[in-house]
A and B are shown apart, each in its own frame.
Chain A
């Protein structure tokens, strides 16, 4: 036995004709990967068509039914709709449906970014408290600084952004200990901070100096009601969303690298702290967009990126356009259901979402059970 050991130890490795030498047959040309790109393009085109279709169908549904065919006739054959129909369509339904699409896209992208940042599939702007911070900021703007605006942005929108950034920075530093982000601590810190903030908006309801303006709005924040925006506000928000999505794009590759962990990402030349700050800023922009149009809507930012990741894999670059479109579709559909389910009474979409998202969250929790054992 002992002599066997010594024989193995003594013989130089190079002398043993063993082991493959894979570098001896290195391929000369890299493999083609064009199929992936085609797939992504096809998926994006498909989702975009579905989004247009859902918007058209959603716009036609309501107390007064306006068939899609009649709308098409009005556009292409100069066969006008009645004045009531036109008013309903252009002043109420279309802005509302487009707003829900923007909210859905914004929530989904924010969820994707926060999940990547925290390396945790259970992060979501609502769960980690960013939405709560944005709601408080927006409330301050609506109730106390209603007359202010800078470059066309209302104080509410700007403060929503600021509130989201500050909350995210706070939750992030609370969840971080010794250079690591603990998943459980993150969810608990986010939950505590977010609940505190979103419930504190109730104070604005009580102490509102002019209850006429603020009351309904503040109540709506808490339940997630998508408002009917002005066209100007809609246009401005769309531009912001587009700018945000463009600036998010280079961050997506860094999110892929950050999946290897902070230290490894740093070794690969990523400025981890700067990248994190940028992700928090852009993610907060999306949260603020969603909150200023639709208040506190839970779980949409959790479900959409998660399902997209199941279908497409975790590459954030591919996920960005897909989650944005899927989020828009998802919220257009849920908002349509919310406003028609108990018509004429309208159900806040945030409440419907809580009933859809709660079980989904629990399912995730059970599925990931092993990671959270004590």
Chain B
């Protein structure tokens, strides 16, 4: 089966500075994968390269076996959605008006919003649990509410591959749990998920696979139990063992599993 996303030996850099090099990863359909790594390691850039928003300086990106650069724009926009870290809106659009924009890939010059588009918008609003905010103005929402509206916008696009850039940011723990539940629900619906996550607690048990980007352009992939060992986390995040609950020998997620 063709993987939905395949990066082989991908590198990206701006004129003077290389962000990452030699990254290879594959996402199979219906997987729920986490992308972790310290600040500035290029997680966001990797996600943008994966959607085709940025062109890699080396290597090859394939979305469903096709290069995003040559794939028709409409086809690509129905295949992949990236929920960005930040969304700046210049005017006072309501939540509903913003989420409706997610239907753009399905509209044409003369084809406006049809009933199925309205249904998709309603569904997206419900899934992200922002139906109650429908007529509120986006710029007046709290950080957590905006976060969920952005996810609704991504869902309205009805993508096969959903990339999320730090989706748990600004969410309290209750909303984080809801988000994880939502990601599992979407995975069960057949949507492939790749999310960059800062909260390593959430990665264990909730993601079937994790890619750890190290500051030395390394990429460690595997199931969370194997990848997120205290030693590896300590070296990737440049944080001494014992200085964080995750890095305690006795309380770390990995080793405490033995008690169960």
Residue pair B73, A121 in contact (C-beta under 8 Å): no
Residue pair B122, A3 in contact (C-beta under 8 Å): no
Residue pair A264, B84 in contact (C-beta under 8 Å): yes
Tell me if A80 counts as interface (CB < 8 A to partner B).
no
Residue pair B127, A22 in contact (C-beta under 8 Å): yes
Query: Do A8 and B201 contact each other (CB < 8 Å), given the known contacts A2-B245, A268-B105?
Result: yes
Main secondary structure of the interface of B (DSSP, over half): helix
A260 to B245, CA, bound (A): 39
Residue pair B118, A120 in contact (C-beta under 8 Å): no
Tell me if A16 counts as interface (CB < 8 A to partner B).
yes
Question: Chain B 204-247 against A: per-residue CB contact (8 Å), 1 yes, 0 no?
Answer: 11100000000000000000000000000000000000000110
- 9-residue interface stretch from A70-78, A151-159, A309-317: A309-317
Residue of B with least CB distance to A183:
B90
Interface residues of A in 269-298 (CB under 8 A from B): 269-271
Residue pair B122, A27 in contact (C-beta under 8 Å): yes
Residue pair A268, B101 in contact (C-beta under 8 Å): yes
Tell me if B51 counts as interface (CB < 8 A to partner A).
yes
Residue of A with least CB distance to B178:
A19
- 9-residue interface stretch from B5-13, B22-30, B249-257: B249-257
Residue pair B118, A9 in contact (C-beta under 8 Å): no
Which residues of B are found within 8 Å of A16, using beta-carbon distances? 177
A315 to B98, CA, bound (A): 10
**Pick from A18, A20, A33, A268: contact of B129, CB under 8 Å:** A20
Residue pair A269, B74 in contact (C-beta under 8 Å): yes
Residue of B with least CB distance to A120:
B90
Tell me if A259 counts as interface (CB < 8 A to partner B).
yes
A31 to B119, CA, bound (A): 8
Which residues of A are found within 8 Å of B123, using beta-carbon distances? 26
Residue pair B177, A19 in contact (C-beta under 8 Å): yes
Tell me if B260 counts as interface (CB < 8 A to partner A).
yes
Residue pair A30, B253 in contact (C-beta under 8 Å): no
How many residue pairs at the A-B interface have CB separations less than 8 Å? 136
Residue of B with least CB distance to A271:
B73
Residue pair B118, A30 in contact (C-beta under 8 Å): yes
Tell me if A119 counts as interface (CB < 8 A to partner B).
yes
Q: How many residues of B contact A (CB 8 A)?
A: 64
**Smallest Cβ distance from B245 to chain A, in angstroms?**
5
- 9-residue interface stretch from B31-39, B75-83, B190-198: B75-83
Query: Do A22 and B174 contact each other (CB < 8 Å), given the known contacts A13-B206, A257-B101?
Result: no
Residue pair B90, A264 in contact (C-beta under 8 Å): no
Tell me if B16 counts as interface (CB < 8 A to partner A).
no
**Smallest Cβ distance from B178 to chain A, in angstroms?**
4
A309 to B93, CA, bound (A): 10
Residue pair A260, B87 in contact (C-beta under 8 Å): yes
Residue pair B126, A22 in contact (C-beta under 8 Å): yes
**Pick from B91, B129, B204: contact of A309, CB under 8 Å:** B91
Interface residues of A in 72-91 (CB under 8 A from B): none
Residue of B with least CB distance to A30:
B118
**Pick from A6, A26, A267: contact of B81, CB under 8 Å:** A267
A121 to B185, CA, bound (A): 40
Residue pair B251, A13 in contact (C-beta under 8 Å): no
A264 to B201, CA, bound (A): 30
Tell me if A10 counts as interface (CB < 8 A to partner B).
yes
Residue pair A269, B93 in contact (C-beta under 8 Å): no
**Smallest Cβ distance from B250 to chain A, in angstroms?**
7
Question: Chain B 46-85 against A: per-residue CB contact (8 Å), 1 yes, 0 no?
Answer: 0010010100000000000000000001101110111010
**Smallest Cβ distance from A22 to chain B, in angstroms?**
4
Residue of B with least CB distance to A2:
B251
Residue pair B87, A261 in contact (C-beta under 8 Å): yes
A343 to B115, CA, bound (A): 57
Which residues of A are found within 8 Å of B122, using beta-carbon distances? 26-27, 30-31
A6 to B253, CA, bound (A): 7
Q: Among A30, A309, A313, find the residue whose CB has the most chain B CB atoms closer than 10 A.
A: A30
**Smallest Cβ distance from A316 to chain B, in angstroms?**
9
Residue of A with least CB distance to B72:
A269
Q: Report A's interface with B, CB cutoff 8 A.
A: 2-3, 5-6, 8-10, 12-14, 16, 18-23, 25-27, 29-31, 33, 119-121, 250, 253, 256-257, 259-261, 263-271, 309, 313-315
A18-B177, A121-B90 known; 18 new pairs, CB 8 Å cut-off, are A5-B245, A6-B256, A8-B201, A10-B256, A13-B205, A22-B128, A22-B131, A23-B185, A25-B126, A29-B119, A30-B115, A31-B122, A253-B104, A256-B101, A257-B101, A259-B89, A267-B51, A269-B78
Report the 3 A-B pairs with minimum CB-CB distance, sorted nearest first: A269-B77, A314-B91, A30-B118
Q: Report B's interface with A, CB cutoff 8 A.
A: 48, 51, 53, 73-74, 76-78, 80-82, 84, 87-94, 97-98, 101-102, 104-105, 107, 109, 112, 115, 118-119, 121-123, 126-129, 131, 153, 157, 174, 177-178, 180-182, 184-185, 201-202, 204-206, 245-246, 248, 250-251, 253, 256-257, 260
Q: List 12 A-B contacts (CB under 8 A).
A: A3-B251, A6-B256, A13-B177, A13-B202, A14-B184, A19-B178, A20-B129, A23-B182, A30-B122, A259-B90, A259-B101, A314-B97
